[in-house]
């Protein structure tokens, strides 16, 4: 087999392209849901944190999470699609996802011996942000696969910031783990 040294362009019919963009729309709804769930967990967590530096950092993350949630509309536009309108389905979906994550986090935390509610919420934030990172990163790959470079202009800065935040959340989680698990101390 001879390697291809030149770009290879495939012409696809409008029906195929439209079907692909419909699937992208569904993925963008998932990305929005993951990000909204993360933002809602931040909303629920900030007030529960007593440590002032961590509370301030999480409040900043909440503001950034709102901005990132709004960027999903930019992704719709990049794919030449109409953004979904805010409404009950989006709100209820994010709320249900957030509550399900909290319930799972409580069960896992209690099983691990961490009864501190705020430490468990910090752990839930770490996992939820990771899911949201994946949502934007997959969207970036869809944009590249479909030849829509404007998607990268939206996703790359979001993924970069969320990855940076992920590392800091992990640091806070690890820093507080011994107090939460060994001393049963809240944050």
Is 74 within 8 Å of 154 (Cβ atoms)?
yes
Is 83 within 8 Å of 73 (Cβ atoms)?
yes
Is 44 within 8 Å of 98 (Cβ atoms)?
yes
State how far the Cα of 121 lies from the Cα of 116, in Å rounded to an integer.
Answer: 9
Is 102 within 8 Å of 41 (Cβ atoms)?
yes
Question: Model pTM?
Answer: 0.82
Please provide residue 115's backbone torsions phi and psi, each rounded to the nearest 5 degrees.
Answer: -90, -10
**Mean pLDDT score of the chain:** 84
pLDDT of residue 150: 95
Is 42 within 8 Å of 65 (Cβ atoms)?
yes
In terms of Cα–Cα distance, which of 140, 126, 117 is closest to 28?
140
Sign of dihedral through CA atoms 161, 167, 168, 169? positive
pLDDT of residue 176: 83
Place of tokens 């770009």: 7
Residue 3, helix vs strand vs coil:
coil
Pick the CATH number of 20-182 from 1.20.1260.10, 3.40.50.1370, 3.40.30.10, 2.30.110.10: 1.20.1260.10
State how far the Cα of 166 lies from the Cα of 129, in Å rounded to an integer.
Answer: 7
First vs last C-alpha separation in the chain:
61
Could you say which residues of the chain have pLDDT below 70? 1-11, 86-116, 185-187
Place of tokens 């030849």: 147
CA of 174: how far to CAs of 68, 77, 155, 159, in Å? Answer: 25, 39, 28, 22
């Amino acid at each position: 087999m001879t390697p291809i040294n030149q770009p290879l362009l495939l012409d696809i019919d409008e029906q195929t392209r439209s079907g692909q963009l419909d699937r992208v729309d569904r993925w963008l709804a998932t990305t929005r849901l993951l990000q909204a769930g993360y933002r809602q967990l931040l909303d629920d967590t900030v007030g529960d944190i007593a440590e002032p530096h961590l509370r301030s950092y999480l409040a900043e993350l909440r503001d950034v999470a709102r901005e990132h949630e709004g960027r999903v509309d930019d992704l719709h536009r990049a794919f030449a699609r109409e953004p979904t309108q805010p409404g009950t389905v989006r709100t209820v979906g994010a709320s249900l996802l957030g509550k399900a994550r909290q319930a799972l986090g409580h069960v896992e935390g209690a099983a691990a011996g961490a009864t501190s509610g705020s430490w468990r919420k910090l752990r839930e934030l770490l996992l939820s942000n990771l899911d949201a990172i994946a949502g934007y990163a997959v969207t970036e790959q869809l944009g590249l696969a479909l030849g829509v470079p404007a998607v990268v202009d939206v996703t790359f800065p979001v993924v970069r910031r969320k990855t940076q935040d992920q590392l800091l959340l992990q640091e806070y989680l690890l820093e507080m783990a011994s107090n939460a698990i060994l001393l049963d101390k809240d944050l």
